[in-house]
Amino acid sequence: MRKPLDGILVLAFEQAVAAPYCTCRLADAGARVIKVERPEGDFARGYDKVVNGESAYFVWLNRGKQSVVLDIKNPNDSALLHRILGRADVFVQNLAPGAAERSGYGSGSLRQKYPRLITVDISGYGEDGPYRDLRAYDLMVQAESGLASITGTHHAPGRVGVSACDIGTGMYAHAKVLEALIRRATTGEGSAITVSLFGAMADWMGVPLLHQDHGRDWPRIGLGHPLIAPYGAYPVQDGGLLMISVQNDREWQRLARDVLRRPDLAEREALKRNMDRVGHRAEIDAAITAVFAALTRSELVERIKAADIAFANVNTVKDLAVHPQLKRTTVGTPAGEVSIVAPAASFRGEPVELGPVPALGEHTALVRREFAG
């Protein structure tokens, strides 16, 4: 069965997470992705050796690609790369600020030379502004964008435990590449795409920023929600936390009457509307904590399900590994097959088929032969 991007050729000067995330999803959809690496490889190969000697990040983000080791500053290798670009549909790079331009791979010159080419420049802070020349990595942008200031507890800011800025940027880049391919099918012209880690996370910070713009702080409250009450995690009698969420006033009525068995709370005028409940958060949390602490998890879940209230366990990664809803698939690596999380989005009824993770330079000779001058 043909995949949606069969026949699309992608050349990538990429490293770390953001650009590899984008090209990995293109490869999943059938695109041929030629990944150019230095002799020492994408530095993400060296983050750890936890996956049978391979890096977890690299295994996660580089399936289905071809790895070639080339020197983009070497005239012969540069000539080879331009022959590839002459046939390519998409060029993706997330090198250090200005590096692609200095090496002769700036999007402006490439778009002039190859009008059908879609170029994707991924940077830390974008192409203009006072921060444009700064190096940027995920945690630094979490801090710079204000994300860390709303993450954690009231005691201190915290890091989102995954590479949120990198992943968000890769997702935006992937979506824009698909838009550009659709537009090119109509116009025949490529596009120049630019996306930054800071821009991606600033978009994710849209609601806290609107609150700031209109005179309201966005508090840092751990496993709670600044705008919704009750919405949080509470200790249960037999250990651990159980999270609940009340999204509307009808759900609050059911929670108060049927779960907490406190009809007096359901009848309180001051608690009937969400915005009012937020102002009485401490009182509501105290009432929930008292009931939850006296019941086992199974007793609470039975009540909560009967009342049709959303709930969740506060799981660990170890819990995720055996979660009944977790879907896995396998991917080949230089060290053998590895079980990974299956792609989040799929076509119903179609099998998930992922290409293997390449060894460093595994396809160099093949690509040199194919694109020989």
Instruction: Write phi, then psi, for 360 (nearest 5 degrees).
Output: -60, 120
For residues 131 and 124, the answer to whether their CB atoms sit within 8 Å is yes
Beta carbons within 10 angstroms of residue 194's beta carbon: 16
**For position 59, what pLDDT does the model report?**
96
Helix (H) or strand (E) holding 233: strand 231-235
**Phi, then psi, of 250 in degrees rounded to 5:** -65, -40
- pTM here? 0.93
pLDDT at residue 1, as a whole number: 78
**Strands 310-313 and 241-245, sheet pairing:** antiparallel
Residue that has been written with the tokens 């060894």 in this structure: 359
CA 367: distance to chain centroid?
A: 30
Structure confidence by residue, pLDDT tens digits, 101-149: 898 999 999 999 999 999 999 999 999 999 999 989 999 999 999 999 9
Q: Which 8-state DSSP code applies to residue 295?
A: S
Which is the CATH superfamily of the domain at 9-205+325-370?
Crotonobetainyl-coa:carnitine coa-transferase; domain 1 (3.40.50.10540)
* Residue carrying the six token digits 């997470």: 17
231-313: which CATH architecture?
Answer: 2-Layer Sandwich (3.30)
CB within 8 Å of 268: residues ≥ 6 apart: none
pLDDT at position 154: 87
Domain extents in the chain: 9-205+325-370, 231-313
Question: For each of the chain's 373 residues, which pLDDT tens digit applies?
Answer: 799 999 999 999 999 999 999 999 999 999 999 999 999 999 999 999 999 999 999 999 999 999 999 999 899 999 999 999 999 999 999 998 888 989 899 999 999 999 999 999 999 999 999 999 998 999 999 999 999 999 998 889 999 999 999 999 999 999 999 999 999 999 999 999 999 999 999 999 999 999 999 999 999 999 999 999 999 999 999 999 999 999 999 999 999 999 999 999 999 999 999 999 999 999 999 999 999 999 999 999 999 999 999 999 999 999 999 999 999 999 999 999 999 999 999 999 999 999 999 999 999 999 999 999 7
Rounded Cα gap, residues 303 and 307, in angstroms: 6
pLDDT for 181-204, tens place per residue? 999 999 999 999 999 999 999 999
In this structure, are residues 241 and 298 in contact, taking their beta carbons and an 8 Å threshold? no
